[in-house]
């Protein structure tokens, strides 16, 4: 078992269940953090997530898991059940002539669904608020885990996602599960492939 992941989740669990309330951020009224893990440890990560969820539940917390991958496909299907198939077919046809143009086509289509305050951020906010409204007595002891970020590579900028949900989640602690590499104190490289981005406010674990 990856010792780095084990330490990450041990630290995260301790900070989430601190006796004075979640301590996942050094900034007041900013309850976001990022858990960085190697992209090739996705399945091991899921084991740790399940263990963390059980530990939190055993201590009176409610865990809401949100799949960014699922949210994106729900968005795409609003354009019609066959929209994804049509987009894939068009990308293949374009890429057969020019691979770069094929990628640009998909990027253009997905960026419109993902980016900005009304993109995936709006869906995340809706999911969190709906959950809290359905469980008002548990709002103070709810933790949200945002996962399946890797499925959106290379289209999503996670720093922008967190910026657009900031102030819209009722101060519920949110943990972003981030496949990538850490560079220095605040730099993160998505999937270890994108140039390191230092535009992050949340505390970084891992």
* pLDDT tens column, 112-157: 889 999 999 999 999 999 999 988 888 889 999 999 999 888 888 8
Q: Which residue has the higher pLDDT, 14 or 159?
A: 14
Mean pLDDT for 56-61 is 94
In order of 102, 158, 159, the CA distances from 200 in angstroms are: 31, 9, 6
Check if the beta carbon of residue 125 is closer than 8 Å to that of residue 144.
no
The pLDDT value recorded for residue 74 is 93
Model confidence at 107, pLDDT cuts 50, 70, 90, reads confident
- For helices 120-134 and 158-165, give the axis angle rounded to 10 degrees: 40
Asked, for residue 84, whether it belongs to a domain, the answer is no
In a domain, 185, yes or no: yes
pTM of the shown model: 0.90
Q: How many residues does the chain have?
A: 206
CATH number where 184 lies: 3.40.50
Contact 202, 33 (CB under 8 A): yes
Q: What is the pLDDT of residues 5-55, one digit of tens each?
A: 999 999 999 999 998 888 898 776 788 999 999 999 999 999 999 999 999
Distance CA 191, CA 205 (A): 16
> Does residue 173 sit within a domain?
yes
Q: What pLDDT does 43 receive?
A: 93
Q: What is the mean pLDDT of residues 187-206?
A: 80
- Tokens (6 digits) for 169: 């989640």
Position 105 in a domain? no
SS3 assignment, position 78: coil
The DSSP 8-state label assigned to residue 37 in this structure reads: E
Q: Which residues span the domain enclosing 39? A: 3-68+117-205
In a domain? residue 41: yes
User: In total, how many domains does the chain have?
Assistant: 1
CB count in 10 Å sphere of residue 68: 23
**CA–CA distances in Å: residue 168 to residues 52, 84, 126:** 25, 30, 9
Is 192 within the bounds of a domain? yes
Average pLDDT, the chain: 89
Q: How does residue 1 score in pLDDT terms, banded at 50, 70 and 90?
A: low
């Amino acid at each position: 078992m990856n010792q780095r992941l084990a330490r990450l989740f041990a630290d995260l669990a301790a900070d989430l269940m601190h006796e004075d309330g979640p301590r996942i951020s050094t900034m007041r009224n900013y309850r976001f953090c990022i858990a960085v893990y190697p992209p090739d440890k996705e399945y091991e990560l899921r084991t740790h997530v399940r263990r963390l969820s059980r530990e939190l539940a055993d201590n009176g917390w409610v865990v809401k898991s949100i799949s960014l991958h699922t949210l994106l496909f729900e968005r795409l299907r609003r354009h019609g059940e066959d929209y994804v198939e049509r987009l894939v077919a068009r990308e293949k046809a374009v890429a057969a002539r020019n691979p770069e143009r094929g990628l640009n086509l998909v990027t253009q289509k997905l960026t419109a669904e993902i980016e900005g305050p009304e993109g995936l951020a709006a869906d995340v906010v809706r999911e969190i608020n709906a959950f809290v409204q359905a469980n008002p007595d548990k709002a103070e002891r709810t933790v949200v885990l945002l996962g399946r970020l890797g499925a959106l590579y290379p289209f999503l900028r996670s720093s922008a996602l967190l910026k657009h949900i900031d102030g819209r989640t009722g101060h519920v602690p949110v943990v972003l599960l981030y496949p990538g590499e850490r560079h220095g104190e605040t730099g993160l490289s998505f999937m270890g492939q994108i140039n390191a981005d230092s535009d992050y406010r949340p505390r970084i674990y891992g």
